[in-house]
Amino acid sequence: MAKKAKIKFTRKQSLIAAAAAAVLAVGAISASFSGSPKAERVQEVQLPDFTPAANELVIFYIDTCPHCHTAKEFIKKNEKKFGKVKITQVNVATPEGRALYFAAAKAIGFQPGGVPVAVFGNTGDHILGFNNDETTGKAYEAFLKKINK
């Protein structure tokens, strides 16, 4: 069995080698896209209709989001206060949920990117994020009173 030779590189040589490898990888990825027409790379997606009921709270969430859990816990704790408000929870980690999230963003006019997003009825009122019951929770309650008819 042949002995393996040990080669020592300086820190500078190691950084240069890593940079060269990164450039080659980016070049390979770019080359894989350059041969195909744009139409093959871009997929058109038909967004679903987003029209919540006048008395509906739609909450967009992801299971791994701690703020989403806090918002959902607030809703669960206070559900009896909401009266006739219909609560709809949409997981944006699913393809259907993600499509509805983008449809809501387009319909209401918010910049998609974060969760939780609570949409209050068909008024266009919405809140991005959830801090705690005393701050964001109070804002939820105010909007929920508005749509609880």
Domain extent listing, the chain = 11-41, 56-147
Contacts of 65 (CB under 8 A, 6+ apart): 115, 116
Q: Based on the number of CB atoms within 10 Å of its own CB, is 85 exposed (0-12), middle (13-18) or buried (19 or more)? A: buried
Give the model confidence (pLDDT) of 58-99 as tens digits.
999 999 999 999 999 999 999 888 888 999 999 999 999 999
CA distances from 149 to 75, 86, 96, 120, 133 (A): 18, 11, 29, 12, 23
Confidence of residue 6 (pLDDT cuts 50, 70, 90): low
Name the more confident of 14 and 10.
10
1 pLDDT more than 50: yes
Question: CATH classification of 56-147 is 3.40.30.10, yes or no?
Answer: yes
pTM, 2 dp: 0.69
